[in-house]
Amino acid sequence: MEQVRLMLHTDLIGTVHPSGTATTRPTVPPQGRAPAPPRPQAPAHSPAHARTAHDAAAGDPGRRVTVAVYASDPVLHVGIVQQLRQRPEVELVDEADAHEARVSLVAVDSVDDETTALLYRLRHNSATRTGLVVGTFDSGDALQRAIECGVTAVLRRAEADQDRLLRLVLAMANGEGVLPGDLLAKLLDHVGSLQRSALDPHAVSLSTLTPREADMLRLVSEGLDTAEIARNTSYSERTVKNVLHEVITRLQLRNRSHAVGYALRNGLI
């Protein structure tokens, strides 16, 4: 009987005291089964996690601007990197992470075909805005081509000191465009010339005028004959005649004077 009472006692869940109150005891787990572990509490967001989420937010004013530098000239590349590395507002990224940079700086002497191809590739990267540090623009067409390839800011190499580079980077990171006043005027003149040309039936031919053709027409406008043009350009007289004849024929003009007048009206010379 004592053994039976003991077994019954271990199976009880609660015991009633003489006072009438009940106390509850945990049930004994079946033999051979370990008690279930306590359920883990959901962790609170740590400050580090909050900062990471905050830094990842777009437009965070306290976030350093990530910058990738592209330059075919190693000396030029090192020069720009050294100037920006000293600024706490900027974080330079390696080539492997360049596609994640908020700002891409392309430093070149001029906008050639290789530069245009690079700018075109960067244009398709939605994570970055592209700026150009350039020695010179050969023409308004080169400037327009750079803008069409997604360049939003331009700085001349001769003016690219540390402060100007930083202002350029921060302006681009804020979604602003930067273009020197004289280059803006050059771009507007070029676009205006293209618009005027679009009203002309020979507008397609107009875009094919080469620098050599323009130079020779300019000399014609100054009153030089074939022999004088040949001496000034270091071409033979036969080459001068052929070039001018090609221009007149292609643009369907009557003579050299007509070609000069046409080029002047359309801003070619």
- Given a cut of 90, whether residue 31 has pLDDT beyond it is no
The pLDDT of residue 12: 39
CA-CA-CA-CA dihedral for 108, 113, 114, 120, to nearest 10: 90
The pLDDT of residue 193: 60
pLDDT tens digit sequence for 79-124:
999 999 999 999 999 988 998 999 999 999 988 888 888 998 998 8
| Residue matched to tokens 């990171």 | 173
> What is the β-pairing status of strands 103-108 and 151-156?
unpaired
Neighbours of 69 (CB within 10 A): 23
The pLDDT of residue 262: 83
Under 8 Å between Cβ of 193 and 263: no
- Burial of 92: CB neighbours in 10 Å, binned 0-12, 13-18, 19+: buried
What are phi and psi for residue 152, nearest 5 degrees? -110, -5
The pLDDT of residue 240: 92
| Residue matched to tokens 């803008």 | 147
The pLDDT of residue 161: 93
pLDDT tens digit sequence for 206-258:
445 788 888 899 899 988 999 999 999 999 999 999 889 888 888 888 899 88
pLDDT tens digit sequence for 57-78:
344 555 899 999 999 899 999 9
Higher-pLDDT residue of 22, 102? 102
Of 177, 139, 124, 132, which Cα lies nearest the Cα of 154? Answer: 132
Please tell me the pTM assigned to this model: 0.49
Give the C-alpha distances (Å, rounded to integers) separating 88 from 63, 152, 239.
10, 23, 59
Strand ranges inside the chain, DSSP E: 14-16, 22-24, 65-71, 90-92, 103-108, 129-134, 151-156
The pLDDT of residue 21: 45
Under 8 Å between Cβ of 157 and 135: yes
- Percent share of the chain, pLDDT over 70: 67
pLDDT tens digit sequence for 119-153:
989 988 888 999 999 998 876 777 878 888 889 99
Report the C-alpha gap between 144 and 154 in whole angstroms. 12
The pLDDT of residue 183: 75
User: Side chain identity at 59, as an amino acid letter?
Assistant: G
